[in-house]
Structure 1
């Protein structure tokens, strides 16, 4: 089913239910296909799967961490050379 974004605004709840039920819902803008509503497949993880996922997320955070500014100097822009507020 193709429907314009403007028309879909008033029918969103029904369109979501239909997409969850397996219908193909395509939203159009100016007559051109823009997006498709598809149901999200839930990924149920057991305890081991959750633990592995959390470890992977932590490892990714550590690998992508970048050093930030020195916290002792992070507010220097608020003060002038004499240490008084600007």
Structure 2
């Protein structure tokens, strides 16, 4: 649901209830999205953000494989004489 900021002034209580119920409420200014109303419970706290970040980092570290050294990373582009292959 998109509502202009000027319209929202008179409907704030209803808009907050709708956001708490799970409806997406976006306030617009001059036709452009300016603010999204989101229930506090849906906003992740600092600890859960950190836990998510750590989970992503550990997952990425587990999937990472060592590649060729930087000095040899482009060797596949050239033949034995050093010409583009």
TM-score by length of 2: 0.48
Q: Which has the higher helix share?
A: 2
TM-score by length of 1: 0.48
